[in-house]
Chains A and B, each alone.
Chain A
Amino acid sequence: MSFLVDSVIMFTSQVLFFGFGWLFFMRQLFKDYEIRQYVVQVVFSITFAFSCTMFELIIFEILGAMSSTSRYFHWKLNLYVILLVLIFVVPFYIGYFVVSNIRLLQRQKLLFACMVWFTFMYFFWKLGDPFPILSPKHGILSIEQLISRVGVIGVTLMALLSGFGAVNCPYTYMSYFLRNVTDSDILALERRLLQTMDMIVSKKKRIAMTRRQMYQRGEDQNKQTGFWGMIKSVTSTPPGSENLSLIQQEVDALEELSRQLFLETVDLQSTKERIEYSKTFKGKYFNFLGYFFSIYCVWKIFMVKFWSQHISFILVGIIIVTSIRGLLITLTKFFYAISSSKSSNVIVLVLAQIMGMYFVSSVLLMRMSMPLEYRSIVTEVLGELQFNFYHRWFDVIFLVSALSSILFLYLAHKQAPEKQMSL
């Protein structure tokens, strides 16, 4: 009886998550595009729903919410479904949509999509070889094999993103790092940009005028017939053409300059907006959070084991929520930056794949942050994976990513004020 009640609860929550994913897709990701292939939206929402359900099950585990047998059952069910989606459904559809964008392969779409999927499976399987994740007790098609590979990809992704986020978040929000930008700086840059545009326009007018004159003269020259006309057309070179290529080169250089100026102006504007935001209440709150999390992240970088158990548990909840939110925001920004009406389907599916793998590996890694008594369910369900391997792998990649982000941001920060001084 209680199993039925639990199942109903799980099912309703899954429907809710599905609806949220659907709305997010429609309102945020695809708000500039027409949704012609509903299957993409469905696949995205399913991936999102089952990923969130996994987190929900962890919370239930900690709270002791449902009976342990039904929890175990739902864990297994959820895991099978999400592995099915991440390994079979999403890659197949990615292949299918990529193939349908290429005109040459239009006729045998399904065949080529299957070929792409088999290639993916081959590399996916090969991924397991260099890592110590194969334990000889389990067969080829066991769930441990699949999860271990998904885990490796997802953990690498997570570590890269966390490392970068750990460094970038304080850099972005902490006012200590914000360069001082005044209105007059922006005005000066804008004036330079408009001047450059004016120069481009006047040079293009000259080119257009010269071309038109050449065209008209060309017509006159064509009218000249006879012997004398032929001699004339051989010896005289149109006076404008050498100048033209010179002016065209100047125009190209000026256009490149205008692009640079535009990007610099955008950069200054966004810095100014960040400064203004930091003065608001919300901004101050995030500033404080930035300090707090930067301390936590520095702590993590130096891997202090003291007290980590119980404080980490509270932070597990916060980290889940903020990482889901952060991931969705990052995915949205990334999507806007690179998508076009042709590739939008493929990109959304790739994002769904990343999201699913990210969430699955979050579960793997969360085991590290959970107090001992709750680790059992994760260990039981996921079988005998070498968890320590994942933790160490995460730490290594996290460290590498954080250090290279520090280097990268340091260089970028150093370069910018120099650029400003040269204006």
Chain B
Amino acid sequence: MASLDRVKVLVLGDSGVGKSSLVHLLCQNQVLGNPSWTVGCSVDVRVQDYKEGTPEEKTYYIELWDVGGSVGCASSIKSTRAVFYNSVNGIMLVHDLTNKKSSQNLYRWSLEALNKDSSPTGVIVSNGSDYDREQFAENPVPLLLIGTKFDQIPENKRNEVLTRTAFLSEDFNAEEINLDCTNPRYLAAGTSNAVKLSRFFDKVIEKRYFTRDPSQMTGFTDRKRFNFKSLHYD
């Protein structure tokens, strides 16, 4: 069945950060000419060569599910969105480098996607909405942090922004890529961004097919934990 072969990666982030442009760039290798509001979820497929250049090279089709909306929206929209979070194999967290709030909201986004208990009507059951670093350290779902609109940051602010995103990637235990979705050269073959991207997709495929995971669980387990808030909140 087709569903057994699927590799599903969510693309999450606030409204207007550039998720649709990013997905278009990753899947069609072209810049998206006329971005418009994403209603619901839009899916695109990327052809990925797993372990490129080695004898074990194999082609996989990675589905990128671009879920629209904001964290603070009505609960009816949230419950409906939760339908898309089933059996996820990887998450790309997208934030806008020119808007600090979009980076802060990523904590809530990741919790929304990962804490979902698959109950029939898609109601989100969370074990507390506090960010807990330990949960991210042993998270079974690979994460990738992507910062967009890199070209719109003035030269003198770059270091400050990059330090902030470094903290963010530590918190999520994820690699980070900073780019501009309207310029394909950021992801050109051979750049460190392209390498990180391939590594992420390879990790997703490995976790999906090559690890013996008895529960194909994609969320956090609900042992009682010591919760502490992130120290990097501004």
Contact = CB atoms under 8 A, between A and B. Distances in A.
Where chain A touches its partner, the secondary structure class is: helix
Contacts of A259: 39-40
Contacts of A217: none
A56 interface: no
Scoring B40, B71, B98 by chain A CB atoms within 10 A of each residue's CB, the highest score goes to B40
B227 interface: no
A273 B83 contact: no
A194 B83 contact: yes
A269 B45 contact: no
Contacts of B99: 33-34, 341
Nearest to B149: A341
B80 A265 contact: yes
Interface in A31-57: 31-34
Interface stretch (A93-101, A153-161, A202-210, A235-243): A202-210
Contacts of A202: 2
Interface string B73-94: 1111101100110100000000
Interface string A148-182: 00000000000000000000000000000000000
Nearest to B37: A340
B41 interface: yes
B42 to A, nearest CB: 7
B80 A266 contact: yes
Where chain B touches its partner, the secondary structure class is: mixed
A32 B70 CA distance: 9
Interface string A267-285: 1011011000000000000
B7 to A, nearest CB: 11
B161 to A, nearest CB: 12
Interface stretch (A185-193, A288-296, A375-383): A185-193
Contacts, number: 93
A263 B61 contact: no
B6 A336 contact: no
B45 A190 contact: no
Contacts of A34: 99-101
A258 B3 CA distance: 18
B139 interface: no
Contact of A204 (B43, B74, B96): B43
A270 B76 contact: yes
A262 interface: yes
Scoring B77, B80, B86 by chain A CB atoms within 10 A of each residue's CB, the highest score goes to B80
A201 B44 CA distance: 7
A263 B73 CA distance: 14
B122 A266 contact: no
B46 to A, nearest CB: 8
B112 interface: no
Interface string B40-66: 111111110000000000000101010
B72 interface: yes
B39 A32 contact: no
28 contacts: A31-B101, A186-B121, A190-B80, A190-B121, A194-B86, A201-B6, A201-B45, A201-B63, A208-B47, A208-B61, A209-B47, A212-B47, A258-B40, A259-B40, A262-B39, A262-B40, A262-B41, A263-B40, A266-B80, A269-B75, A269-B76, A269-B77, A270-B76, A272-B76, A273-B75, A336-B70, A341-B16, A341-B98
Given A197-B84, A258-B40, 15 more contacts: A34-B101, A190-B80, A190-B122, A193-B83, A201-B43, A204-B43, A207-B45, A258-B41, A262-B41, A263-B39, A266-B76, A266-B77, A269-B76, A269-B80, A270-B74
